Structure 1
Amino acid sequence: MAENLLTVDGLSLDFRTGRGRVRALRDVSFPVRRGRILGIVGESGSGKSTVLWSILGLLARNAEVTAGRIDFEGRDLLTLGGADLRAVRGEKISVVFQDPMTSQIPVLPYARQMEDILYRRPLSRAAKRDAAVDLLRRVGIPDPDSRIDAYPHQFSGGMRQRAAIAMSMLTGPNLLLADEPTTALDVTTEAQIVALMRDLQTEFETTIVVVSHDLGLIAELCDDVVVMYAGEVVETGEVRDIFHHARHPYTRALLECDPARIAEVSRRLPVIRGDLPDLTRPLQGCIFAPRCQRAMPGCATIPPPVVPRGTGAAKCHLLDGPLADPDWPPPAGTATVPRQEAAAPPARPDGGTLLELRDVNVRFRTMGPIRARLRGVADPHVDAVLDAGLTIRAGETLALVGESGSGKTTLGRAILNLQPVDGGSVRFDGAEIANAPERRFKPLRRDMAMMFQDPVGSLSPRKSVRALITEPLLIHGVAGRDLDAEAERLADMVRLPRGFLSRYPHELSGGQARRVGVARALALNPRLIVADEPTAGLDVSVQGEILNLMSDLQAEHGLSYLFITHNLPVVRHVADRIAIMYLGRIVEAGPAAEIFAAPAHPYTAALVGGVPHPDPDRRRPPGSAIGGEVPSLLRRPRGCDFAARCPHAREACREAKPPHARIAPGHTHACLFPLRGANDTTRIR
């Protein structure tokens, strides 16, 4: 066994709150083996990030460690004073935060931020700059000599995360902690970050601890895994043991709820029923027993044994003791989480056309007219959306997919008249609505609603859930309704307990806040819902609950969805058709089954082939991710926007924009040399 660089031993931690003590961690123990990558996985609220902040000494003031040790290189980090802890933090233990925009200083260039990290080193400013440039080059930042003087807002999301990794590696730490490092990234950028972290771990011999609820990331990146639930470690082991031979019912349930592991396409996804326990109340027995499909009467009162296996262990009555079950665990591939039955058969997407877009163009001004004249810029605009066309039929789900910055949200906002359209046609139910004045458009808002990407940020923190979900009724002057009765009806519709109507957004979990957003969108009985990343940041089980809810509501009310996302495993289960967007242009659109089975555009093929598998034996090979960065809108390529990154590009691709062409009924693409249907392509515009 490799030497342990860090050992968490019996760590227990409470938070003092107005509702009483929250026992956030209870007897947490696991080793971090030197030179390996450890993944900590579990649902939100399981204590993953709290363990990380305990290691770093960055806990909130109301936190109190009640027991345990954190041994790092022979010292207990919990006993170190401020100066000693600061000497370890940053130098020997570094961190990559979840959101680089909030962890990086927006008013300082990267050169200054990275030089400040090396303040303890007796180096000249030039030497510090050289070291920073070298790290930026190693993490794949193009032109690091000049880009080091850029500010965070001038980098894309993937480049900001690369810069964050470079900053964390600048001091040559022995241990790197990464908190959800790829949560907000699309599949191609995630693949680049995964490859980068593995390369750096090999090159610098750094030990890495990754916290994530993304099972695909854990399977692809990690060597060892710790599974946490409600503040306790329920299973540990090497990554192949966890993913192929999981022994704890919670671990198996997590794996079975991942859409990427479900082979057959289904509108109903399995979920772990129930909620996390209230950690302010006394706990006894197995904490997972209320949600466990195999729980027995003794599980709720008797503490489960810790049963070792190889380098790991599992904490479950089914494995040892008087409640042991000789048939547990079942053979691999045996489902242990039942699927819910649909309330009604899914609506067939055979209705008439509800929404039609033709050649929609959305532009943003980059500078004022005086500045443009002084700089000699003839057209100070960028095309965020370029000649976009799509249709959505009644009762249909169309998924709009693409990398971050591809223009998906901008197009969704343009449909709802939240963003002016600079060209093209937007027709809803046969009527032209592009740039309609608000007085004429307001009645249409009853038929069109939006679910925003950030469920908490889109809700007023000063209003209760009851006020939030009935606010659309007040804005549109819907008279003659009992608002309290409407609030209860909407809460029941989205399966939100009525007791939550008196709560405020900060008192809700991510999944609960998402349900409030769904209820708010449904208040006026719309016909079309634009759902912007409705599953972003959610655990696989909560994600399944939201998707099942949306499917039920579609079947019951005949809703149409424009599903904006970069989560392809989810798209495969929920979408009837898919539109792929790149740099503001739709490059392929067609039936979901055809897109996944035989994509025509090389970009679509790269997206579909780049989906991480929650299986350590199916890791993406090195170099399989799309290389390079998305081109800047300020310097949009003359020819195909994807040509600089396309492995199949030819000289003709760089000369002119490829026209949209049809290769099958309802299946179009914008590629001069498609991967399929080259002999049957019909130019349509």
Structure 2
Amino acid sequence: MDTLLDIRNLSLDFRTTRGRVKALRDISFPVRKGRIIGIVGESGSGKSTILWSIMGLLAGNAEVTGGEILFEDRNMLTLSESSRRAARGEEISVVFQDPMTSQIPVLTYARQMFDILYRRPNLSRAQKREAAIDMMRRVGIPDPEARVDQYPHQFSGGMRQRAGIAMALLTGPKLLLADEPTTALDVTMEAQIIHLLQGLQSEFGATIVVVSHNLGLIAELCDDVVVMYAGEVIEAGEVHDIFHHARHPYTRALLECDPARVEKVTRRLPVIPGDIPDLTRPRKGCIYSPRCQRAMPTCHDVDPPTAATAPGQFARCHLLEGPHADPTWPPPASVLTVGRGTEDLPPRPDPAGTPLLDVRDLNVRFRTMGPIRARLRGIDDPFVDAVLDVSLSVRPGETVGLVGESGSGKTTLGRTILNLLRSEAGTATFEGQDIRNMPESRFKPLRRDMAMMFQDPVGSLSPRKSVRALITEPLLIHGITGRDLDVEAERLADMVRLPKPFLTRYPHELSGGQARRVGVARALALNPKLIIADEPTAGLDVSVQGEILNLMAELQAEHGLSYLIITHNLPVIRHIADRLAIMYLGRIVEQGPTGAIFANPLHPYTQALVEGVPKPDPDRRRKHVSISGEVPSLLRRPPGCDFATRCPYVQDRCRVEKPPHFDAPAGRQHACLFPLTHN
């Protein structure tokens, strides 16, 4: 096949106060025309750096020390700035990871798209507008004639990402770069974006490079895969070859750590021991050898040879080539190379126990406009119900998962339980005490027993405080005296297995997994009984996810903690939650034991979520999207069932009648007039 982009021996350093970070070392791989290639690896492996090298968008302290990037035989590294700018946007476009920060919030999409087409003087303003509308229609944005004049904040996360793809495709580029295009999206939106990119690739014949640490996304979307580790390409090949016959120990370990590939439900998830090495230090031998469970003495001293298996397919490992090659490697796919620990945790709590937290018919409303403006517009009820008639409980030592799409009210419910938001109606009791809308002076002592882990592990930490100050701050806030803060800081660091030298670091010096451990330590500082964890695995690699969740399970077993885990990561929640509550548009539409819900969902929305998880197997690519459309606006809640506008089984009665909560066998509940039956 013809090669559109050829990266040859690319090496790149970043100049920092700690020394030169060798971010990329001798990177080589081709990108073939009309193909979708995925670059996969843990955070810090250099995936995004490759994209910014192609685009010429590197930071000022970056220095290319060798190699070339050939795009249609033009070296992008030696082009003049004007020539690179001409290629950027016209021939090479990019879809950024966070559409909210990459799109201009004060300009409409029409204006932003007009600016993209500034090199087309032969097009009139009306023609540019028509081109923008047509492209928004192609990427599946409903009513594009009206929505093209809206601003980014008026779009949902999935629609903003679609708009970003539309803007990237507006000039008809030959190469499309996508940096973590689905990281912040729910499973249903993620599936829609995957099918959208596949359809656009077929329609336009585009060549796409996707950077991701989501193995399910790579398996469903890509034709070819490049596996990176600590700035090096360690394996490359076609997607079926990588996922079914991975040869490098790191690739095998990465695949085995994906919770979606772990068929048997286990309370301990597999992890890769250790961390990515410090790239400022000189290295010898295989870069992966300190973490490799099959490492030999020669791996630590001698660079690994390259074993080519087919044109464009290779892996770098002593087990595959050279005097130390092992004919038994790689083992069959059924043989695990990464340990999962032992099932030494105590049994699950008795579900008949007295609830630690009990919420009944809770309702949270937000005002949409002031009373004068509402009166002028003739609006009698200027409120939206963000949480509506929610009932759930958490028992001592139990883990309850709260699952749903973005905007379904999960975080609002968690914050209301912790008295950070006021509720309109209902009850919320903690250890039998009514805590709903309790005055802060009375609620503050209860905060010792109720803690929260926030969604953004770095953003929730003060950048001006060291880790030592951050994890002991709850003790100072609650006036707990008589303890040596340095001793407490070291105790908490040991509890979450954070090295003691990290106590002097600041949040910007931590990785995502390390920052998450600091958040866990802060939550545990006062020995709480309940922890509400908001997206505890968001943005983390599969191995780091396993580390954090295993840590939480061990702490639960040791201290009898209860967890309410807010997430949209279904493969993870399947392994750690005793019970699930599925939330849609502020209501809980189904709840019950985790295994039963995954095996036999009763509500169509639950079924759509379960089926919407990308499969980390290229042979099991889905032919359709499990659920289409957007979550309705709370300002225009459907008159009947909230899910009626998207439900594939909708009937006339569903459009006019709000379903109550029905009890089902085995401790299950659902809110569906026509629940699913399973033969």
- Is TM (by shorter chain) over 0.5? yes
Q: 1:209 — aligned with what?
A: 209
Partners of 1:349 and 1:395 within 8 A in 2: no
Give distance in 2, aligned partners of 1:349 and 1:504. Answer: 42
CA deviations on 1:306-344 (whole Å, 9 max, x unpaired) are 111113100000001011111100012110011223564
Cα deviation, residue 374, structure 1: 1.1
Q: 2:36 — aligned with what?
A: 37
Partners of 1:343 and 1:552 within 8 A in 2: no
Alignment CA distance shift 1:349-1:52 (3 Å):
farther
Task: Please point out which of 446, 449, 454 is paired with 1:447.
Answer: 449
Q: 2:5 — aligned with what?
A: 6
Q: What is the one-letter code of the residue matched to 2:87?
A: V
Give distance in 2, aligned partners of 1:517 and 1:656. Answer: 43
- Superposed counterparts of 1:463-482, under 5 Å: 463-482=465-484
Give distance in 2, aligned partners of 1:343 and 1:481. Answer: 32
Partners of 1:11 and 1:69 within 8 A in 2: yes
Cα deviation, residue 663, structure 1: 1.0
Partners of 1:347 and 1:558 within 8 A in 2: no
CA deviations on 1:522-565 (whole Å, 9 max, x unpaired) are 00000000000000000000000000000000000000000100
- Quick check: 1:136 aligned with 2:153? no
Give distance in 1, aligned partners of 2:445 and 2:425. Answer: 23
CA deviations on 1:40-95 (whole Å, 9 max, x unpaired) are 00000000000010000000000000000000011000001110010000000000
Give distance in 2, aligned partners of 1:455 and 1:229. Answer: 23
Cα deviation, residue 398, structure 1: 0.4
Give distance in 1, aligned partners of 2:501 and 2:110. Answer: 51
Q: What is the one-letter code of the residue matched to 1:113?
A: Q
Q: 2:50 — aligned with what?
A: 51
Q: 1:67 — aligned with what?
A: 66
Give distance in 2, aligned partners of 1:340 and 1:23. Answer: 34
Cα deviation, residue 347, structure 1: 4.9
Partners of 1:403 and 1:582 within 8 A in 2: yes
Partners of 2:532 and 2:566 within 8 A in 1: yes
Give distance in 1, aligned partners of 2:595 and 2:282. Answer: 49
Give distance in 2, aligned partners of 1:427 and 1:209. Answer: 51
Q: Which segment drifts farther, 339-348 or 376-385?
A: 339-348
Partners of 1:101 and 1:152 within 8 A in 2: yes
Give distance in 2, aligned partners of 1:127 and 1:335. Answer: 58
Give distance in 1, aligned partners of 2:678 and 2:26. Answer: 59
CA deviations on 1:564-619 (whole Å, 9 max, x unpaired) are 00000001100000000000100000000100010100000111111111000011
Give distance in 1, aligned partners of 2:588 and 2:95. Answer: 34
- Quick check: 1:352 aligned with 2:387? no
Q: 1:82 — aligned with what?
A: 81
- Quick check: 1:302 aligned with 2:288? no
Q: 2:629 — aligned with what?
A: 628
Alignment CA distance shift 1:342-1:521 (3 Å):
farther
Alignment CA distance shift 1:349-1:18 (3 Å):
farther
- Superposed counterparts of 1:405-484, under 5 Å: 405-484=407-486
Partners of 1:349 and 1:394 within 8 A in 2: no
Give distance in 2, aligned partners of 1:366 and 1:355. Answer: 30
> How high is the TM-score relative to the length of structure 1?
0.98
Task: Please point out which of 524, 527, 536 is paired with 2:526.
Answer: 524
- Superposed counterparts of 1:662-677, under 5 Å: 662-676=663-677
Q: Which segment drifts farther, 274-283 or 337-346?
A: 337-346
Cα deviation, residue 371, structure 1: 1.0
Give distance in 2, aligned partners of 1:304 and 1:400. Answer: 46
Q: 2:510 — aligned with what?
A: 508
CA deviations on 1:160-210 (whole Å, 9 max, x unpaired) are 000000010000000000000000111000000000000011111110000
Cα deviation, residue 665, structure 1: 3.5
RMSD of aligned alpha carbons = 1.0
List structure 1 segments (4+ residues) > 6 angstroms apart after TM superposition.
none
- Quick check: 1:257 aligned with 2:262? no
CA deviations on 1:203-228 (whole Å, 9 max, x unpaired) are 11110000000000000000000000
3-state secondary structure, aligned to 1:9: strand
Q: What is the one-letter code of the residue matched to 1:598?
A: N
Q: 1:380 — aligned with what?
A: 382
Q: 2:22 — aligned with what?
A: 23
> How high is the TM-score relative to the length of structure 2?
0.99
Partners of 2:271 and 2:340 within 8 A in 1: yes
Q: 1:681 — aligned with what?
A: none
Q: 1:606 — aligned with what?
A: 608
Q: 2:101 — aligned with what?
A: 102
Give distance in 1, aligned partners of 2:487 and 2:623. Answer: 56
Partners of 2:641 and 2:654 within 8 A in 1: yes
3-state secondary structure, aligned to 1:199: helix
- Superposed counterparts of 1:145-224, under 5 Å: 145-224=145-224
Q: 1:683 — aligned with what?
A: none
Give distance in 1, aligned partners of 2:343 and 2:217. Answer: 30
Q: 1:328 — aligned with what?
A: 329
3-state secondary structure, aligned to 1:289: coil
Q: What is the one-letter code of the residue matched to 1:53?
A: W
Q: 1:276 — aligned with what?
A: 276
Cα deviation, residue 107, structure 1: 0.7
CA deviations on 1:242-280 (whole Å, 9 max, x unpaired) are 000000000000000000000110010110001111111
Q: 1:364 — aligned with what?
A: 366
Runs (5+) with no aligned partner, structure 2: none
- Quick check: 1:648 aligned with 2:664? no
Q: Which segment drifts farther, 368-377 or 433-442?
A: 368-377
Partners of 2:600 and 2:678 within 8 A in 1: no
3-state secondary structure, aligned to 1:657: coil
3-state secondary structure, aligned to 2:319: helix
Q: 1:682 — aligned with what?
A: none
3-state secondary structure, aligned to 2:210: strand
Partners of 1:496 and 1:515 within 8 A in 2: yes
Q: 1:404 — aligned with what?
A: 406
Identity of aligned residues (%): 74
Q: 2:318 — aligned with what?
A: 317
CA deviations on 1:11-66 (whole Å, 9 max, x unpaired) are 00000000000000000000000000000000000000000100000000000000
Runs (5+) with no aligned partner, structure 1: 679-685
Give distance in 1, aligned partners of 2:468 and 2:81. Answer: 45
Q: 2:593 — aligned with what?
A: 591
